[in-house]
Each structure stands twice: as C-alpha cells, then as structure tokens.
Amino acid sequence: MTDQRPLLRVRDLTVGFTTAAGRVEVVKRLGFDLARGGALGIVGESGSGKSMTSLAIMGLLPKGAERTGSIELDGTELTTLRERQMQAVRGDRIAMVFQDPLSSLNPYYTVGTQIAEAYRAHRTGVTRRQARKVAIEAMERVHIKDAARRVDHYPHQFSGGMRQRVMIAMTLSMEPDLIIADEPTTALDVTVQAQILDLLAEIRRDTGAGLILITHDLAVVSEVADHIVVMREGDLVEQGTAEQVFSDPRADYTRMLLDAVPRIDDEIGLLRTTATEEPR
C-alpha cells in the first residue's frame, strides 16, 4: 500500500431533524474509516440510524434534515460541496444499491436505459449505441444471461434477484470507488441472497471498489465485511475488525445482539435477550 489515506473518512457525522417536539438526532457524532478496497459493515436494528448514515454520505437526506460533521472521500470533503459538485460525485465515485429493487427501478424505462443513465450523465457526447453497449456489458458483468436481449426489457419482467442484479449493474458503468449497499438482500429469498452476496464480493475483487454494507443481519455482515460498525439509536456502539467484534464484543448491546441471533449450526436453547422494549 503506497497510499495510507483511507478511501472514506467520516468524523462527527450528525444528522438531526427539527420537529415541533424539538430537535431529534438520528445519527450522533459518528466516526469511522473505510480502507481503500475494504468492506465495512454497518449493522443495527430499526431506528439505529444506519440508513440515514448512507443517505448522509450520498448527500441524499430527506428534506429538513441537518447534517454536520465531516465526510472525506479520498481527501475531498463532501459536506462543503455544492449540489452541482455533489452530483458529479454521485453515481460516478460513489454508487448506491437500495433495498427494494422493484420500487427502486422506474417501471417506465427499460433496464438498459436505466443502467446507462449514470454513464450518460457523467460522460459527454455518449451516443445511444455506446450507452446500450455499456448497459449490456454491465449486465454481463452481473451475470444476467442473454444480456443483449434482456437490455430492452422492463423491470417488471425480471425476478427479484435479477432486479437486484440490474441495480448492481447500474453502479458498475462508472467504475465507482465506493459502493454503498443498503440492505441489498433483505427483500430476497435466502438462495438468491447468497448469489447477490457472492456477486458483490466478486465485483469488489475485480474492481477494487470499497463497499459499505448496511444491514440488520449479523450473519450476513459477518460473511461480507472486514470491518464492523454497530449502531443503536443513532449512536456508534462499537467498531472494530469483524473478528474482533464477533469473537470479543466490547459493548453489552453487541453481546446481546449476538446472543439473540438464531443459529443454523449452533446450540439450540433459550435465545438470550437482555433488551427491554420501550413503548412507542
């Protein structure tokens, strides 16, 4: 490694909303690094702020959200960029895969059009034929068979797993430095999930892109990520290498989570739970 600088450096990231009831912080002073080509898993239950973190990095927070802190991509501070400049980063240097592939794809356009869209947005003077070629290549890279024909199909003509492949193909046309995948397999069947996780690993290996995987599933994150960030209600609970977090968790909350995960290959007994539920 000649370059010691991390690919992504997040410091003191805070996301808040001002509501009638006062200010609510959904992400609180979050900080982590992602090494070049590394895979970081952000894991947490609902309301942990993990998805807000990904949207904060993309600069796609919902209206009314206030973001403070620092997000550095390869030395470039993203939080001070103008919207125009941020557009140049989105889809080109950072690409994102969302949870529900069906609703995340526009039903009115062919998958080919949507895959090539980022390419056309970031390159000038792209002809229709070039765009089509880029789309077909991207589809072949995510192992969609018969890509030359399928490129003209619409999202509803694909199965759930194939749609997620299309979503991943969308991120590939610009060779991004960082791919953020937010619950990419949650809506999928377990056999399809395994295929999509393999695909993400393959792409990482081939392109050297960094990956942030956001998930509620500890088993999934343990298979994919080399670094883990555990979040709870906007707080960073603990972070470390995957081995460290899974074999010697420091925080009680992490221990509780690990105890609560039902195993396919471990002892069967009462799942240990220590968390108490608060009323809404």
Partner 1 sequence: MIRFLVNRLLGMAVVLLLVCLFTYVIFFVLSPDPAVQICGKNCTPEAIDRIRANLGLDEPFRTQFWTFLTGLFAGRAYGTGANAIECAAPCLGYSFQTSQPVTDMILQRLPVSATVAVGAAVLWLLAGVAAGLLSAVKEGRFADRFIAGLTLTGMSVPNYVLALSLQFLLVVTLGWLPFPQAVPFAEDPGQWFLNFLMPWTVLSIGAAAVYTRLTRANVIETLQENYVRTARAKGLSPGLVWRRHALRPALTPIVTIFGMDFAGLLGGALITETVFGLNGVGKLAADSITKNDQPVIMGVTLLAAFLVVVGNMVVDLLYTAIDPRVRVGSAT
Partner 2 sequence: MTAPLLRATGLVKEFTVRGTGLLGRAARFRAVDDVSLDVHAGETLALVGESGSGKSTTARLIARLIDTTSGTIEFAGRDVHALTGKDLHAYRGDVQVVFQDPYSSLNPKHTVERIVTAPLVYQKRPIPGGARAFTRELMERVGLDPDHSGRFPAQFSGGQAQRIGIARALAVSPKLIIADEAVSALDVSVQAQVINLLRRLQDEEGFSYLFIAHDLAVVRQIAHRVAVMNAGRIVESGDRDQVFGDPQDPYTRRLLAAVPRIRPEWDAARRRNERARRTVEEAAR
d(Cα 209, Cα 42) in Å, to the nearest integer? 17
* Least distance CB 104 / partner 1 (angstroms): 4
Closest CA to 180 of 3, 5, 10, 4: 10
- Answer yes or no whether residue 40 interacts with partner 1 by CB under 8 A: no
Q: Judged by CB, which is closer to partner 1: 57, or 220?
A: 57
CA angle 42/47/52 to nearest 5° reads: 60
Q: Tell me which of 18, 103, 241, 274 binds partner 1, using CB under 8 A.
A: 103
Give the SS3 label for residue 149.
helix
The answer to the question of residue 122 lying near partner 1 (CB under 8 A) is yes
Distance CA 116, CA 220 (A): 30
CA nearest neighbour of 204 among 95, 56, 54: 95
Number of other CB atoms surrounding residue 46 within 10 Å: 7
Q: Choose the binding region for partner 1 from 13-21, 110-118, 135-143, 251-259 (rule: CB under 8 A).
A: 110-118
Instruction: Output the smallest distance, CB 181 to partner 2, in A.
Output: 14
Q: Which is nearer to partner 1, 109 or 148 (CB)?
A: 109
Q: Are 200 and 192 in contact (CB under 8 A)?
A: no
186 binds, among partner 2, partner 1, none (CB under 5 to 8 A by kind): none
Helix (H), strand (E) at residue 3: none
CB of 232 to partner 2, least distance (A): 10
* Least gap, CB of 46 to partner 1 (angstroms): 18
Q: Which is nearer to partner 1, 136 or 167 (CB)?
A: 167
- Considering the rule CB under 8 A, would residue 58 count as an interface residue with partner 1? yes
Residue 108 touches which member of partner 2, partner 1, none, C-beta under 5-8 Å by kind: partner 1
Report d(CA 203, CA 201) in Å as an integer: 6
Cβ within 8 Å of residue 280, ≥6 positions away: none
Q: Is 170 in the site for partner 1 (CB under 8 A)?
A: yes
Nearer to partner 2, 161 or 176 (CB): 161
Which residues contribute to the site for partner 2 (CB under 8 A)?
Answer: 45-46, 160, 189-191, 193-194, 197, 216-220, 222-223, 243, 246-249, 255-266, 268, 270-273, 275, 277-280
User: Cα separation of 78 and 65, whole Å?
Assistant: 16
